[in-house]
Amino acid sequence: MEVCGSTNAECLSLANDGELDRLWITTKQQTAGKGSRGRNWESITGNLFASLMLRNPCEKQHLGSLTFVAALSALTAIQAAAEDTANTPALELKWPNDVLINRKKCGGILLESISGITGTVLVVGFGINCQNHPETANYPATNLADEGIETSASKVFDLLARQMAEMLLVWDAGKNFTTIRQQWLHFAAGIGQLITVKIPGREDTTGIFTTIDEAGYMLLEKQNGELDRISVADVFFETSNKIDRAGYGKN
């Protein structure tokens, strides 16, 4: 479609109307794009806005792991687009749901779900900056064109839909998250490095990002050696990679 409020909202509405499984909605422009934790997603023409509706994709305890399936699919789609332009950008995944190029955000994922008598409908929303990016954001942003990847939103969507279908097969309704986790960790930004996590209602926490566990939670090693298990947070990387475990950030 040319314009809609939100591709996620369109999918959820169609789910209530009884639409079948594995439905993709894309648009050229969103007027009410949504980001994580209730934020707005600036929807600039020329970028990709797409959502995939999944009916009863897995048992409820595995729903959250679809974030990692989606993030991997987005990264590998961008990777394929870059190969077509003989470009090798530094692609990474920022926990839990952002795609980075050269440590700048170029894409994000939003999961939303509804439950009823017929089970659970989960919508996976994708936003990928193809031609433009917001100038003001809480984290540095970029777009594919600025990073030397000349492509279109429609081409990225074709690649994304293919990658998502393949990743869903690997994921196997959550029964094979171990493989998805290993692949995600291969691209994870900040593993073994000092980061700061910001959680609403809590004091900022700084520590070493050690890994993600089998549920997708971040494990953060604090200065006292304790591991903090984090389900939701905004992640910010420290500028220095030199880490003194007895006193973070000291040389």
Closest CA to 59 of 98, 124, 115, 125: 115
pLDDT band for position 250 (50/70/90)?
very low
Instruction: Dump pLDDT digits (tens) for 31-48.
Output: 866 655 555 656 678 999
Q: Going by CATH, does the domain composed of 194-237 fall within 3.30.365.10?
A: no
Residue 28 pLDDT exceeds 50: yes
pTM: 0.89
CA distance 24 to 77: 16
Q: What CATH number matches the domain at 3-186, 3.40.50.620, 3.40.50.360, 3.30.930.10, 3.30.420.40?
A: 3.30.930.10
Distances (CA, A) of 29 to 18, 32, 118, 151, 249: 25, 9, 31, 17, 43
Instruction: Dump pLDDT digits (tens) for 188-202.
Output: 999 999 999 998 888
Start and end residues for every CATH 3.30.930.10 domain found in the chain: 3-186
**Sign of the CA dihedral with 126 first, then 132, 136, and 140 last:** positive
Start and end residues for every CATH 2.30.30.100 domain found in the chain: 194-237
CB-based contact 194:206 (threshold 8 Å): yes
**For the chain, what's the residue count?**
251
